[in-house]
Structure formats: structure tokens, C-alpha cells
């Protein structure tokens, strides 16, 4: 005995909403409520340095040029932030992780190093602030020997999945690694 086709089609049509109800939310959108929670704190960023701890930069302070193992050089970029959705530290490639962009320029605005937008989750630091530590900001090879002693500006821009953007910059003096 065969079942009428229209009954099978009706049952399949009714099953679709039930299946969709168990599907996860749109992965390109931040989880519900996180933007509202983040907005309860004024959005801010503080650019710093440091490979494993946040070292705040002061205007006119020193920023060490680090030598890499393969002959290149870089500076460490770090940031403290507030009022943002920090993303998912357990999933570094998550599309909802903030975009973090470090730029090092000379005083005339010429780029010395530029990381471009990088998806980076911000972890919760020891005093409750969001932080990213030890981002490699690569300098051109010519900069390894010619830049120590020169003034520069280190800028960070962070844009979270809620479309909140914060930026901070410090004028620094580039120095060789001590």
C-alpha cells in the first residue's frame, strides 16, 4: 500500500520549522545581549607595548625595536580596552572577534609598520579590563638599523562586532632592544 504523496509532502513541510528551531543563531552576528552589556561602559582604548604584560606608553617615552630570529625586527603592540565586546578567546578565528589594527608612522605620517585589520579576541586582564598583549608589528628591514633614535607614533584601532570603534596613539622614541 502506498501513501498519498501530498501527505508525505505536508509532513516534511511541518518538520522543517522544528529542525530550524534547533539551529544556532547567525554566526556573523554577536551573541544576544553582548552589545548592550558592552555599551554600559564608556568605550576606550589605551595603546601600549609588551610581549607578555601590558606596558603603558607615555608620550615621548621609549619603544624598543626587537630583533627577530630571521633577521627582521618589530615592536610589540598591546592594548587595554573597555566598553567593547571582546570576542571569543577560545576561538581565535571567530568572525565576531574584534578587528585590531596597529600602525607605526614617522611624524610626517609615513608608515613604518602596519598590521592591517587582524581578528583578535581580547582577554580579560588582571584588573578586569580587556587586553591584547604582544602583537608583532613588523618593521621593514631597513628600519632595524636606521630607526633607533627616531621619533614615531604608535596607533591602535579596535572595532568590535557591535561596530564600536576606539583608537589611541602615543608619540614615542624608537630605541634598540636593551
DSSP-based three-state secondary structure for 34? helix
CB 23 within 8 A of CB 47: no
pLDDT in tens, 134-176: 999 999 766 677 888 899 999 999 999 999 999 999 999 999 8
Q: What pLDDT digit, counting tens, does each position of 81-96 carry? A: 999 999 999 998 899 9
pLDDT tens for each residue of 99-118: 999 999 999 999 999 999 99
What is the pTM assigned to this prediction? 0.82
Q: Is residue 125 within 8 Å of 131, Cβ to Cβ?
A: yes
For the cut 70, the answer to whether the pLDDT of residue 2 exceeds it is no
Q: Are 167 and 117 in contact (CB under 8 A)?
A: no
Residue 175, Cβ density class (10 Å: 0-12 exposed, 13-18 middle, ≥19 buried): middle
- All structural domains of the chain, each given as residue ranges with its CATH number in brackets, are 32-176 (2.60.40.2550)
Q: Give φ, ψ of 145 to 5 degrees.
A: -105, -20
pLDDT mean across residues, the chain: 86
Burial category of 122 from C-beta neighbours within 10 Å (exposed 0-12, middle 13-18, buried 19 and up): buried
32-60 confidence digits (pLDDT tens): 889 999 999 999 999 999 999 999 999 99
Amino acid at each position: 500500500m502506498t501513501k498519498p504523496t501530498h501527505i508525505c509532502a505536508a509532513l516534511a513541510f511541518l518538520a522543517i520549522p522544528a529542525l530550524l528551531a534547533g539551529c544556532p543563531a547567525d554566526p556573523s552576528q554577536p551573541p544576544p545581549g553582548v552589545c548592550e552589556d558592552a555599551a554600559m561602559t564608556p568605550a576606550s582604548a589605551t595603546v601600549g607595548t609588551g610581549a607578555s604584560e601590558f606596558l603603558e606608553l607615555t608620550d615621548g617615552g621609549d619603544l624598543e625595536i626587537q630583533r627577530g630570529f630571521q633577521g627582521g625586527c618589530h615592536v610589540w603592540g598591546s592594548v587595554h580596552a573597555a566598553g567593547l565586546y571582546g570576542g571569543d578567546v577560545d576561538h581565535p578565528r571567530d568572525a565576531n572577534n574584534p578587528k585590531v589594527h596597529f600602525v607605526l608612522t614617522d611624524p610626517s605620517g609615513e608608515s613604518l609598520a602596519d598590521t592591517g585589520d587582524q581578528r583578535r579576541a581580547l582577554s580579560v586582564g588582571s584588573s578586569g579590563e580587556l587586553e591584547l598583549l604582544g602583537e608583532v608589528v613588523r618593521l621593514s628591514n631597513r628600519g632595524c638599523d636606521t630607526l633607533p633614535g627616531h621619533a614615531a607614533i604608535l596607533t591602535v584601532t579596535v572595532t568590535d562586532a557591535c561596530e564600536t570603534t576606539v583608537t589611541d596613539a602615543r608619540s614615542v622614541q624608537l630605541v634598540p632592544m636593551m
